[in-house]
Amino acid sequence: MKNNFKVACLTGAGISAESGIATFRGMGGMWENHSIEEVATPYGYKKNPLLVWQFYEARRRQALTCKPNKGHLGLARLQNILGEENVTIATQNVDGLHQRAGAKNVLELHGSLWRVRCIKCEKESESFEFFDELPPKCNCGGMLRPAVVWFGEELPQAIFQEAYNKAESCNLYLVIGTSGVVEPAASLARVAANYGAAVWEINPEQSALTYLCQKSWRKKAGDAIEEVIEEILSVQNKF
Ligand code: BV8
Ligand code: ZN
């Protein structure tokens, strides 16, 4: 049966919390007692690239020891059930856990811990290796940076546009594990609502997007995801 029920999701740090990755808000905008300015802005990188790399290398090493949890696995299962062309995952996370759970075509709005870019020749490459020399160097001699989107930096245009188009055209928008504060990612839920999609949330707490939601599961993503999948399968023919 050709399924044309379209689901789009926006996930945030909360979906990786049960995998052991600290959330962003959980530290009140501080990360491992560094200010965001110091470690997650181009200014901070320019000022002290070594500190920024120590922060990111620590997160890369930690993230590699983490496993996808039931929340990530549930979304990958939903793609299998409805067809990956009908379930789009846009994530603010940089940990790669959606992909490791088997999800396809994940839109990484804020880049990835597993890609680096040379600030001189701009070459971007995948890297799962740990760098013993920090900051690491490109073969061209230029300095490498994590290929993530820092505060004050533009999101990758094509990726954001794709996430925007899927928000516009979906029947159901799932907001999972995000405080909904960081823009323009959070605006995708408003786009979906404006184009008539139902918006459902999974978050133990209220978020800045709760006001858009017809349904909210005040639970951890890993505990709620199977219920949400059942709910989707029971209502998909009514949309
Ligand atoms: C841009 C990559 C413009 C790096 C990240 C003033 C000055 C400058 C900029 C701004 C400003 N005011 C606003 C801005 C814009 C700024 C912004 O939004 N700031 C916020 C803080 C107000 N945005 C930007 O700067 C963006 N760029 O605007 O550029 C521009 C335009 C054109 C040309 C040039 C420039 C770039 C934003 C991207 C920043 N990069 N990450 C890295 O990760 O190392 S953002 C960072 O925060 C992470 O990606 C994280 O995912 C994200 C957002 O946080 P959440 O994912 O929501 O996580 P959070 O901890 O907040 O919430 C977790 C939630 O999960 C909670 O609700 C919790 O209850 C819930 N939860 C907990 N456990 C669970 C759970 N849910 C389910 N299950 C559980 N078990
Ligand atoms: Zn280079």
What are 155-190's pLDDT values in tens digits? 999 999 999 999 999 999 999 999 999 999 999 999
Neighbours of 184 (CB within 10 A): 13
Structural domain total, the chain? 2
| pLDDT for the residue numbered 63 | 93
Q: Are residues 104 and 117 in the same domain?
A: no
The CATH number of the domain where 168 resides is what? 3.40.50.1220
Question: Beta strand pairing status for 34-35 and 30-31?
Answer: antiparallel
Residue 17 CA, ligand 2 centroid: distance in Å: 34
79, 85, 90, 94: CA torsion to nearest 10: 70
Extended beta strands in the chain, E state: 7-11, 30-31, 34-35, 87-91, 107-108, 111-118, 124-126, 144-148, 172-176, 198-202, 215-217
Q: Which of 52, 182, 210, 227 to mutate to test the pocket of ligand 1 (most atoms within 8 A of CB)?
A: 182
Residue 2 falls inside a structural domain: no
Pocket test for ligand 1, best of 24, 160, 201 (most atoms within 8 A of CB): 24
What stretches in the chain show pLDDT beneath 70? 1-3, 25-32
C-alpha–C-alpha distance, residues 110 and 171, integer Å: 25
**Last residue of a domain, which of 129, 148, 167?**
148
Based on the fold, state whether residues 81 and 96 are members of the same structural domain. Answer: yes
Residues 172 and 218 both lie in one domain: yes
Task: Supply the residue whose CA is at minimum distance from atom 56 of ligand 1.
Answer: 12
Residue 192 lies in a domain: yes
95 with 192, same domain: the answer is yes
**pLDDT of the residue at 25:** 66
The answer as to whether 121 is a domain residue is yes
In this structure, the dihedral spanned by the alpha carbons of residues 104, 55, 179 and 184, taken in order and rounded to 10 degrees, is: -70
Q: In sequence order, which residues have a C-beta less than 8 Å from that of residue 156 and are 6 or more positions away? A: 108, 109, 111, 149
Instruction: List all residues whose CB is within 6 A of at least one atom of ligand 1.
Output: 12-15, 17-18, 23-26, 40, 92-94, 110, 148-154, 177-179, 181-183, 202-205, 207, 220-221
Residue 37 and residue 95 in one domain: no
pLDDT in the model for residue 2? 54
Same domain, 131 and 222: no
Structure confidence at residue 53 (pLDDT) = 96
Residue after which a domain boundary falls, among 122, 148, 174 = 148
Distance 140 CA to ligand 2 centre (A): 4
Atom 31 (ligand 1): residue with closest C-alpha?
154
Q: What is the DSSP letter of 155?
A: P
Domain of 16, in residue numbers = 7-20+68-110+155-238
Q: Is residue 1 in some structural domain?
A: no
Q: Are residues 97 and 171 in the same domain?
A: yes
Residues 90 and 41 in one domain: no
- Index of the ligand 1 atom closest to the CA of residue 185: 37
Residue 107: both structure tokens together: 């839109």
Strand partners, 10: 90, 175
Query: For residue 199, what pLDDT is reported?
Result: 98
pLDDT at position 89: 99
Q: Are residues 104 and 213 in the same domain?
A: yes
Q: Which ligand is nearest to the CA of 140?
A: 2
Check which CATH number belongs to the domain holding 60 and give it. 3.30.1600.10
